[in-house]
Amino acid sequence: MKQGDGSMGGNKPRPGFPAKLVTHSTGPLRKTPLAPAVRPAGPPAVLGRAPAATTIQPVKGRVASGFGTGSQAVRADMVRKLEAQGVSHRGVLAAMLAIERHRFVDSALANQAYEDTSLPIGLGQTISKPNVVARMLSLLFERESVNLGRVLEIGTGCGYQAALLSHLSREVYSIERLRGLHDKARENLRFFRLANLHLLFGDGMPGFAKGAPYSGIIAAAGGEAIPEAWTDQLAVGGRLVAPAVMASGQQHLVVIDKTVRGLERKELEPVLFVPLKSGIA
């Protein structure tokens, strides 16, 4: 699987902006326009009313400084613990060392940011444990010695995993159905200014067809079935990682590989994610 392989979406131009993202609500289907992406050469976007899509721009040489002088030390300790727990993907570990998790939680919880625990982020949602995030990313990038091309994330949440994906992928589209979390992710990610990350507000159940095909798709919520739209938008040779509810009623991690022969599915360890829902709120 190579980044420039056309079958993996590497040669397809990214969707033009403004684009259209179909969203679902209690009423009939409607389309939400996406705001134009800011060009890398331009100044940072001015804070204001949240657009339906946001492109985070880079600042070369910017060094993160929050959480006191020990931020890098505690991140390094977290990464060492992840390695001891069996996480071995060097790219995933490097991304988790680079991205400051404490910037994605409330300041009152910052001292717990590098513990292997989930933390509340508002609206009944949580930021997943570092071990769970590392496990899912390791599965998504398991066969990759270089970065994936285009990746779709279902459920932006506070934006932490989206930031990690931006370090591991050429381009990332991340969809969040809760307006409050979409806005929070925009603010959290503004510090990092990641030019290859696009945040979308809308229903993730239909995916984002304008960006397809995707080299990888990852979801942070689990339903009784993997939506067909997701596998339809997955490139041949691509991989999907998501929780799903089994016949027992318990969620398990599911890995789906799309091959020329069809879909190959593996069911792995039990997990506990928020339910997958449609519509926006």
Structurally, the chain folds into a number of domains equal to 1
DSSP 102: G
Quote the DSSP letter at residue 61: T
Say if 48 falls within a structural domain: no
**Which pLDDT tens digits describe the chain residue by residue (281 residues)?**
444 444 455 556 555 433 344 444 333 333 333 333 332 333 332 222 333 554 444 333 333 344 544 689 999 999 999 999 999 999 999 999 999 999 999 999 999 999 999 999 999 999 999 999 999 999 999 987 667 899 999 999 999 999 999 999 999 999 999 999 999 999 999 999 999 999 999 999 999 999 999 999 999 999 999 999 999 999 999 999 999 999 999 999 999 999 999 999 999 999 999 999 999 99
Q: What is the pLDDT of residue 71?
A: 82
Structural Rg of the chain based on CA atoms: 18
Is residue 220 domain-resident? yes
Distance CA 124, CA 32 (A): 25
Provide the pLDDT for residue 70.
62
Of 19, 26, 28, the residue nearest 208 (C-alpha): 19
Question: What's the pLDDT tens digit per position in 94-126?
Answer: 999 999 999 999 999 999 999 999 999 999 999
Q: Is residue 222 part of a domain?
A: yes
pLDDT for res 11: 55
In three-state secondary structure terms, 165 is: helix
Is 225 within the bounds of a domain? Answer: yes
Taking CA 133 as the corner, what is the angle to CA 131 and CA 136, rounded to the nearest 5 degrees?
105
Q: What is the pLDDT of residue 144?
A: 78
What's residue 22's pLDDT? 40
Residue 265 has a pLDDT of 98
Instruction: Give the C-alpha separation, 229 to 209, whole Å.
Output: 8
Task: Give the pLDDT score at 193.
Answer: 93
Q: Which of 71, 107, 128, 138 is catalytic?
A: 128
- Output the domain CATH number for residue 179: 3.40.50.150
15 inside domain: no
Q: Which three-class secondary structure state does DSSP give residue 123?
A: coil
Q: What is the pLDDT of residue 67?
A: 55
- 270 located within any domain: yes
Domain that holds residue 171: 6-10+53-60+67-275
The predicted structure's pLDDT at residue 147: 78
Give the per-residue pLDDT at 143.
86
**Confidence at residue 69, expressed as pLDDT on a 0 to 100 scale:** 41
Residue 142 located in a structural domain: yes
In a domain, 26, yes or no: no
Record the tokens describing residue 76, joined without a space.
């390094």
| Cross-strand pairs, 274 | 221
Amino acid, res. 228: E
128 is catalytic: yes
Q: Which of 97, 279, 90 is nearest to 177 (CA)?
A: 279
